[in-house]
Amino acid sequence: MAQLRRDYDSFVKLDTEILVAGPETPETFRDYWQKHDLPFVGLPDPEHRVLKLYGQEVKLFKLGRLPAQMLIDRTGKVRFVHYGHSMADIPPNEEILHLIETQL
């Protein structure tokens, strides 16, 4: 999430909202967001509803949910999906910003 925070202004300039869904409870999310002063939306998903909707993988031997990044346009159409194979497998912000500029 530090990567997203670092370039948050670049996403805003492209009229793009960042939403991070995670398996924690609402209280845990609130505390984490306040502690780290995150500027984007956090969505607690302790029942894994969002995870199931978008096919995000859970690997118990790899600390739970694997990273997944998606670009969803204003109509709700998924335009890009990247499912990580490890916790470090996250596309760089530059790649995501380029996709937004050229495809959305």
Domains, in order of start, for the chain: 2-16+47-103 (3.40.30.10)
Cβ–Cβ under 8 Å, residues 24 and 4: no
Q: Which two tokens stand for residue 35?
A: 């502690």
| CB within 8 Å of 11: residues ≥ 6 apart | 4, 17, 18, 97, 100
pLDDT of 19-54, one tens digit each?
Answer: 988 888 999 989 999 999 999 999 998 888 888 888
pTM of the model: 0.80
Q: Of the candidates 68, 29, 32, which has an alpha carbon nearest to the alpha carbon of residue 50?
A: 68
Dihedral sign of CA atoms 100, 53, 67, 85 in order: negative
